[in-house]
Every structure is written in structure tokens, then in C-alpha cells.
Chains A and B, each alone.
Chain A
């Protein structure tokens, strides 16, 4: 390991990865890789997670292609130094901010979107001119092995390395000094990553999760009930059967509209996945035994089990859990205190939809907040009185594909952000550069100090150029 990291460090040191050409070449190769291997990717992700090609394309392949193409066409602009205005006092001078690569970065990705959560950050690291080590998750083993075997054929292996392995390998990697660590996963592991980073003062970006709520303000959106229900089902079970950091965790709705919402969701579920969702090819499976166990434990509490209003069946052998809807499971139960990360959807009822603000604020800050409402006042209140990584009105998941928006959490849902230009920034140091000439020397900057210099400095701080002129001419006391 040490030896191969030394190769990467050396590549960074000799400037190999800094040029515009190198970055463009890697990004183009990455696109080529996706095009060449599309079917293998479909196959690998089917084996690891039972994902359908449409889902894979929508959530992974398409995302990565979009990001890489966006980086390709924007890189020149991103790399250009940004001019900054300077106060006249410093004239003649020039100020700019220059983005420079950090050096050697570590990307640890997760198993639920093995392709996009690996390559999307890598696109940022490459765009910014870094060398990188990528560690995909061992819980998606087919894809992980495929990536280790195939990606080096496309990318510069003196600058980018894929490392396969589990927690032990991550632990080993975290011993080294990195210039940046980008981690996607759980808060528990994030604490380990951050603690390891602290030893070397390494900055980290943490992409975590949390219980993402969906507020459903029935009275203002009921005329669009069908589209709204589709978007909720699409945001819950669509991406990796609920095993997604921005998937809906629970829905908040007023008491009197709960049954209507549940009926709509059931109808859409049937439309999407048929009478027997177990036979549907359009829904992913649970990643492994451990997670089937974890999710089924969430239903163990008799009070929770009793709250199931739809679904609830599972086939542990086939790692399948049916899309399940629960109405008002107890709030103290694990299902309402832990991130569900699976195909269970609790519906929590409130007297007034406005109470959802208090409900959300009583819990850790989620990565995403969804609100279906046409009520402008409620929108404003949600926006300014709650805190979350992002807020999406009247839809789910789509914020993820919007490159102009930073994607990232706050509080327990993470720190730092990426996507589009933000990915480039996440892997860059913004260096302040100021250039001066030897012309025009302001004597009052220097000791020995006297009253004249004090007056001068007071005026200079106010940028009072007229006063300064008078002072210099001896016209001002």
C-alpha cells in the first residue's frame, strides 16, 4: 500500500495531474468507460442489488455521464482564476482567487449507489487536479471487483487507484495522511473517519443521511394527488428500494387526510410494482442478510407491527422486503428514531400540518426535506424555520440531478457539499493571490509612529480618499 501511495504522491508532486489536458483526458476516459461497460455495470448492479437497468441508468449511469460531461464542458471556466476587486488604497495591485488541487485524496463510497457515489466524487477530484484513491464498498462485491479490475484500464493508474476491501482496509487507509477525505456513509463510520482525519489535520467532506421527512399538505395539493403520490412512491421505493440517503424516511400528514393518502399510495404501488411486488423486476432488493435483519427488527415491536397498513411481508432468502406502509407507529420505537434505509414508510399524523415544523426540529437535521404544498406561507415557514441539507417542494429526489445546487448535509446529515462546480470546489483549495508593484509607497504604514501617521491610517480605513489628499497636502489637521 505504502509503495503505491508513494507513486500517487510522486505523480502529484511532479505536476502530472495539474494540467488541463490531463484532467480532460481522464474525464473523457471515464465517459468512455461508462459507454463501453454499460452492460457489465447493469449486470453487476443487478447482482449486487437487484436493480433494473432503468433504475441504474436513472440513478447511476446517467448521473455519472451528466456529471462528467458537465465537468468536461465547464472545466476551463472552473480553473480560471477569479478576479477580485481591491480597495483603491492598494493601487496598483491585482487580486484573484486561484483554485489549486489539494494533492492526494481518499474517496470512500457506499454500497447503495456503488457507481454514482464512487465516480461522482472522483469526477470532482479529477476535475480539481488531484490524485485519488477510491475505496468502493465491499457490500456491493460484484461491482467493487469489476471497478478494481476495469477502471485502471481507462484512467491514469499512476494517479488514480481503486482499492478493494472491507472495514479493515478502510481502517488501514485511514492511518495514512491524506490531503482530503470524501466519505459517503453512516454517521457512526463518519465519526471514525473524522477522528482519523483530525490526526493529520485533513479536511473532510461527509455525505451522510438521516431521517428525511416528507410533509404532505393535503388541502393545498389534493387536486394533484396522483402526481404527488407517484412522486412519494418514486422517492421512497424508487431509488434502491428505500436504501438511499435522500429517500423519504417518513411522511407527515394531517389526521383527517391520512387514509386518503394511504389509499393513493397503495394504488400507485400497485401500478408500479403489480399485485405482487415480489415478482416485480422494477424494485431493488435489500443489499444483504445483515440489512434484512436490521430492517425486519424495526418491525419487531408489536406496537410497530400492529401499525402496518400495507405490505409487511418478506422473503429473507431472496433478500426481499415488500413495500410497507405503517400508520402512526410509536414515536419512541426504533423505526422512528433510527434512519430506516429500507422499504418501510411510516405515516405520522398531526392535527395541523404546521406542526410538522416542530416535529422536524425536534429531530436531527436531515439530508433532504420534501414538502408537498401549494401554501406559500407554509413554504416560507418550512424554508426558514427548519434546517436540512436541501428542501424540495412538490417533488422528491430531483434535487440530486440539479448540478447548480450544492448537494450535502448539515449537522448529523454531514458537512461539505458536491455536484457540478461544488465538486470541483470540494477538492480544491481556494488560494488568495495578491500582486503589487513597487510603485506608490505609503509612508504612514511604517514606524516610527507619530500623530500624522495615525490620522492617515484612520482616514485610510474609512477609504476617505478626499481626506487623505487633504492630509497629504497639509490642509487637514
Chain B
């Protein structure tokens, strides 16, 4: 048995100190360093596409195409965008100054925060590890990445590839489970970026509070899909299926969790979903190579338990097949499950899709808003008024009309949750901002010093200040001339 050194709090302290020294040396601040690291990351993706796909297949039976679209392709896209834009992002942003501080000029300078910790999950173990790392590097920070122990093949591949491609003095990977994570969380970081669930999110935030460390929490929640009747049903169903089962078999934070539609329309919707599911995954989806499996036995049991309730299992209208030895659960649709059952109170994070029916579609708002705020909310409708209401009334991290999950691939939109689904956002420039401090800079000259700012204080100075802060030129002149 090989002896591995225990990664405890002392080791974590050493690691942080080492990274802080590197950060203080200023190495990671230069444009050149940032770009060279991002280019290496890009090269890593190109050189090792097959290895990455293999690791993801081993961890999740993820189909290669899914791995390429959702993980490697996304990372490459983020890298390319950052490499192209980083020069612009780093430039100080000039802002207007007011008359109150005239004459002056002002700018906002983005500076790296220092030493940051990124804790990533198992469901998109490659993308959700590297995407925040890209932001942290682009902003000029030193980084520790803690990938998930639940996807061990990908985690160790990332550790191995980072060693080979990146500046290991500034970017480190710590593999491990809860003890290692706890050792890391005890340290003082300049930012913690966590992707995962609300329970651990609370632990991360509480640990961060001790050191006043700002956090970004990318969590999940029950993402609803509201489906109207007068739509292109086939296209809608394909987009729902691709968001639900096509993304890691429902084990995704932005996957549709449940559907709300009208009583009247529900049978048609179920029928169409079944048809398209068959087209995608064949008549026996447990045999399909185009769908991921459940990550491990724990999660298999957790998802199975959601169906234990008779009141729930009797509502299965499609699927329900399971193969524990292969950790597979077929795409399963349930109609009209009780709202107080486990499947409707917990995030499903698996291939089960309950459909809740309402009399009028407007009633769906009340259902969605009665729960905690989800990471995403989807609506399929051609009704302009309904769309407007949905966008205005549903609070969620992001909203997509007539599609699912694709907002995640748009770098111009901030990606992040609100309330129980998290705080802070990233992607594109937002990733750079997430790992930067926006330093306010004001340049003043010595001319035009206003004596009214200073003591001894008099009534005349009060009149002057009122005019000055009021911003009215006329009042100002009157005050200076002593007319008011």
C-alpha cells in the first residue's frame, strides 16, 4: 500500500502561505501570465479530449457527445473568450466625476483578490471545475481547486493535467473528500467559489464568515417548466427532454425539475414527451448509450427513495424502470403527484419528471413562488402577456422562454442564483468580475481647492455647500457671491 501524506489543516495552511507568497510576488498579475495559462488550458482540452471523455464515461457513463458539448466545448469557449477579451477586461474603466469633486478624473481598476478557493461538484466535474478556474486566472489570482471525490476519474485527471499544463506554483489541485475540504475551509481565502448544494453552501459560507471572505455560491433548486397549450409541442418536448435527460440524466443544477401545465393539456404533453423520448433513447432507455447513469449507489438510493411513496409511484405514467447493478434509472414521468410528497419538496437531481396540473396556467405562478427561488425557470408559450408576466413575477437565477438550459451557454448573460439557489454570478466577463475587486480611483489636482469644505464652519459655508451638493450652477454662483 502506498503511503499518501495526509492533507490536514497544517498542510492547507502551508499551501495557502505558499500561494500567497506567489501572489505577492506579482507573477500572476501580468497580462502575459494570465494569457499563457489560459492558452495552456485550451491546449489541455484539445490534447486530451479523449482522456476527458473517458474519465467522464467512467464517472458518469456520460456519452462522449454530451461530454464534448457540455463540458469540453464550454471550457474551450470560455478560454477563447477570455484570451480574446482579457486585455479589455483589465483596462481601467473611466467614469464621470461630478462638479462636487471638480477638477478630477476617476476610474475603476479591476484588481485580483489574491488566493482563491474553488470547490466543484461531480455532475459536470470537468466544466464546473475549469470554468471558474478560467475566471480566477483571468482576473490574476492564485487558485486552489478542490474537485469532487464523487467523480474520482475526472478529479485525478484534472490534477494530473494541471500539473502538466499550468504554472503549478500558482494553480493547485487538492483532491479529497470532507476532511480535506474542511482543512481547506479553515484557511483564510480572499474568495471562495462553491458549486453544489444549499446544505454545504451554508457550511462554506459560515467558514468564510470567520475570515470575512466573500463567497460565490452556485447552488440548485427546483427548476420549473411551465408549458402553455398553443405551442409547437414537438419542439417544446425535445427542448424539455434535452434539458432534463440530455444533460447528465437530470443530474444538473439547471435541469427542469418539474412541469406545470393545465389539466386539459397534460395528456397531450405526456404523449408527446413519450414519443420524443423514444425517438431519442429507443424503446429500452436502460440500453441506450446516449444517456448518463446515476453517479453512485448513494444517489441511486436517494432518487429511488423519491418513488417509495405509493402515492407517488402510482402516478408514474412513463418509465420507472431501474437497474441497480448498472446504476441506471429510466426517464420517468409522473402525473399529478401530491404537492407535499418528497419528490415535490426536494430537488430531484435525477431522471424523474413530475407534472403538476392546474386549471389556469396563471395559477402556476403561485406554485413556483411558494417554493424557494430556483436557479432557472422555463416557460413554453406564444402568449405575449403570459411571457411578460412570467419574466416579471417569477424570481429565479435565470429565465428562459421557449427553451431550457441554453442560457448557460451565453457568455453575455450572468449565470448565478438568488435566494436558496445561490449568490453571485459568473460566465464571460462576469467570471472575471467575480474574481476581481473593483477599486475606485480618484485623481485630483491641487487647483480649485474649495475653502468651504474646511473649518472654521460658518453659515456662509453652509449655504455654499447646499448649493454645491445640490449641483445647481445658479445657486452656486449666488452662494459664492453671497447673494443667498
| Chain A contacts to B: CB under 8 angstroms | 13, 52-55, 57-58, 62-63, 65-66, 69, 84-87, 90, 95, 97-98, 100, 102-103, 179, 187, 190-191, 194-195, 197-199, 201, 203, 206, 208, 221, 224, 227-228, 230-231, 233-234, 238, 272-274, 280-283, 361, 383-385, 387-395, 398-399, 401-407, 410-412, 414-417, 429-438, 441, 445-449, 453-454, 457-458, 461
- Asked whether A448 lies within 8 Å of B413 as measured between CB atoms, the reply is no
- Can you list 25 A-B pairs, Cβ within 8 angstroms, ordered by A? A54-B455, A62-B468, A85-B412, A87-B410, A191-B209, A198-B202, A198-B209, A201-B202, A238-B454, A281-B457, A383-B439, A387-B437, A389-B439, A390-B441, A391-B109, A391-B439, A391-B442, A394-B443, A402-B98, A407-B440, A410-B437, A415-B212, A431-B397, A438-B382, A449-B66
Closest partner residue, chain A, to B217 (CB atom): A201
Main SS of the interface on chain A?
A: mixed
Q: Which of A57, A69, A402, A417 contacts B97 (CB 8 A)?
A: A402
**Residues in A neighbouring B391, C-beta threshold 8 A:** 98, 433
| Total chain B interface residues with beta-carbon distance under 8 A | 105
- Asked whether B456 lies within 8 Å of A282 as measured between CB atoms, the reply is yes
**Residues in A neighbouring B282, C-beta threshold 8 A:** 448
- Asked whether A234 lies within 8 Å of B454 as measured between CB atoms, the reply is yes
**Residues in A neighbouring B205, C-beta threshold 8 A:** 194, 197-198, 201
- Asked whether B444 lies within 8 Å of A393 as measured between CB atoms, the reply is yes
**Residues in A neighbouring B415, C-beta threshold 8 A:** 432
Q: Which of B98, B397, B402, B407 contacts A403 (CB 8 A)?
A: B98
- Asked whether A402 lies within 8 Å of B106 as measured between CB atoms, the reply is yes
- What is the CA–CA distance of A403 and B440 in the complex, to the nearest angstrom? 11
Closest partner residue, chain B, to A38 (CB atom): B466
B238 CB-CB contact with A under 8 Å: yes
- Asked whether B109 lies within 8 Å of A383 as measured between CB atoms, the reply is yes
- Asked whether A405 lies within 8 Å of B440 as measured between CB atoms, the reply is yes
The verdict on A431 contacting B395 (CB below 8 Å), with A436-B400, A447-B280 known, is yes
- Asked whether B462 lies within 8 Å of A54 as measured between CB atoms, the reply is yes
Of the stretches B69-77, B309-317, B348-356, the one at the interface is: B69-77
- Asked whether A230 lies within 8 Å of B401 as measured between CB atoms, the reply is no
**Residues in B neighbouring A280, C-beta threshold 8 A:** 455-456
B270 CB-CB contact with A under 8 Å: no
Q: Which of B63, B236, B445 contacts A447 (CB 8 A)?
A: B63
Closest partner residue, chain B, to A422 (CB atom): B438
- What is the CA–CA distance of A282 and B456 in the complex, to the nearest angstrom? 6
**Residues in A neighbouring B29, C-beta threshold 8 A:** 384
The verdict on A449 contacting B437 (CB below 8 Å), with A65-B469, A432-B415, A435-B387 known, is no
- Asked whether A453 lies within 8 Å of B65 as measured between CB atoms, the reply is yes
Q: Among residues 211 to 238 in chain B, which have CB atoms less than 8 Å away from a CB atom of chain A?
A: 212, 214, 217, 219, 231-232, 235-236, 238
Q: Nearest chain B CB to A170's CB is how many angstroms away?
A: 16
The verdict on A62 contacting B440 (CB below 8 Å), with A405-B108, A433-B398 known, is no
Of the stretches B4-12, B129-137, B332-340, B416-424, the one at the interface is: B416-424
**Residues in B neighbouring A410, C-beta threshold 8 A:** 113, 437, 439
**Residues in A neighbouring B465, C-beta threshold 8 A:** 54, 57-58, 62
- Asked whether A55 lies within 8 Å of B413 as measured between CB atoms, the reply is no
**Would you list the 3 A-B pairs with minimal beta carbon distance, nearest first?**
A194-B209, A282-B455, A54-B457
**Residues in A neighbouring B410, C-beta threshold 8 A:** 84, 86-87, 90, 95, 432, 434
Closest partner residue, chain A, to B469 (CB atom): A62
- Asked whether B446 lies within 8 Å of A461 as measured between CB atoms, the reply is no
Q: Nearest chain A CB to B351's CB is how many angstroms away?
A: 14
A-B pair number, CB within 8 angstroms = 301
- Asked whether A401 lies within 8 Å of B210 as measured between CB atoms, the reply is no
- Asked whether B398 lies within 8 Å of A449 as measured between CB atoms, the reply is no
Q: Which of B65, B219, B399 contacts A432 (CB 8 A)?
A: B399
**Residues in A neighbouring B444, C-beta threshold 8 A:** 392-395, 398
**Residues in A neighbouring B419, C-beta threshold 8 A:** 102-103, 179, 201
B159 CB-CB contact with A under 8 Å: no
- What is the CA–CA distance of A369 and B424 in the complex, to the nearest angstrom? 27
**Residues in B neighbouring A441, C-beta threshold 8 A:** 235, 238
- Asked whether B242 lies within 8 Å of A199 as measured between CB atoms, the reply is no
- Asked whether B281 lies within 8 Å of A95 as measured between CB atoms, the reply is no
- Asked whether A401 lies within 8 Å of B98 as measured between CB atoms, the reply is yes
Q: Nearest chain B CB to A429's CB is how many angstroms away?
A: 4
- What is the CA–CA distance of A458 and B69 in the complex, to the nearest angstrom? 8
- Asked whether B73 lies within 8 Å of A457 as measured between CB atoms, the reply is yes
- Asked whether B235 lies within 8 Å of A415 as measured between CB atoms, the reply is no
Closest partner residue, chain A, to B107 (CB atom): A405
Known: A95-B410, A394-B446, A405-B440; 10 extra A-B contacts, CB below 8 A, are A66-B471, A84-B412, A191-B210, A201-B219, A273-B456, A387-B439, A394-B445, A398-B101, A429-B418, A436-B400
**Residues in B neighbouring A436, C-beta threshold 8 A:** 400-403, 406
**Residues in A neighbouring B399, C-beta threshold 8 A:** 431-434
- Asked whether B407 lies within 8 Å of A434 as measured between CB atoms, the reply is yes
B175 CB-CB contact with A under 8 Å: no
**Residues in B neighbouring A406, C-beta threshold 8 A:** 108, 438, 440
